[in-house]
Homo-oligomer: A and B are copies of this chain.
Amino acid sequence: MDISKILDHIHQLPEQSKFALQNNVTEIAFSKGHILLKANKIEPNIYFIKKGLVRAFIERDNEVTFWFGKEGETVISMKSYVEDQPGYETIELLEDCELYELKTENLRKLFSEDVHIANWGRKFAEKELIKTEERLISKQFKNASERYLELMKDHPELLQRVQLGHIASYLGITQVSLSRIRAELK
């Protein structure tokens, strides 16, 4: 998905503002397994995924995957982006990826100068918020097997592209538990 479409998909921008954003974006590619973003560091960039798939995970005793990003989505350490604090997530490429890189510093400058871009940034945060809120509510309401069915319905392609250990972790259960759930659904 190309940068112009990605930006517009977040929130429609006047041509001039879109160009201003695009001018600050550079293309970059990494291969599967690359660690794009490390936990406990302030991350100076955000990325838009042109092609490929990534996951965000947190390391404690075990790795817990809490987000997948695919074409058109934004890779961002919210803590870095919002609070200039080190984030808790590591981002790993699950496939070879082509990315658009944008320096947070430059983006902030654009936010302060251009009301359209400020509102674009507002819309971005708002949409991410809705998604996160829905996941929280899903977790509050549904048991593991319902959450699995929901994921199958909303993002069926993930099951093809991501190994089940990561899916289980994303659903908040163990891989063994997910296997059991899948067996019961047959």
A interface vs B, CB < 8 Å? 58, 60, 64, 66, 78-79, 81-83, 88, 111-115, 118-119, 121-123, 125-130, 132-133, 135-137, 139-141, 172
Judging by beta carbons under 8 Å apart, are A66 and B140 in contact? yes
Please, how many angstroms separate the alpha-carbon atoms of A83 and B133 in the complex?
A: 14
Task: Please indicate the chain B residues that have their CB under 8 angstroms from the CB of A78 in the complex.
Answer: 126, 129-130, 133
Please, how many angstroms separate the alpha-carbon atoms of A128 and B129 in the complex?
A: 7
Task: Please indicate the chain B residues that have their CB under 8 angstroms from the CB of A126 in the complex.
Answer: 78, 81-82, 125
Given contacts A78-B129, A122-B121, contact A172 B111 (CB under 8 A): no
Judging by beta carbons under 8 Å apart, are B83 and A136 in contact? no
Task: Please indicate the chain B residues that have their CB under 8 angstroms from the CB of A129 in the complex.
Answer: 78, 82, 125, 128-129, 132
Task: Please indicate the chain B residues that have their CB under 8 angstroms from the CB of A141 in the complex.
Answer: 58, 60, 64
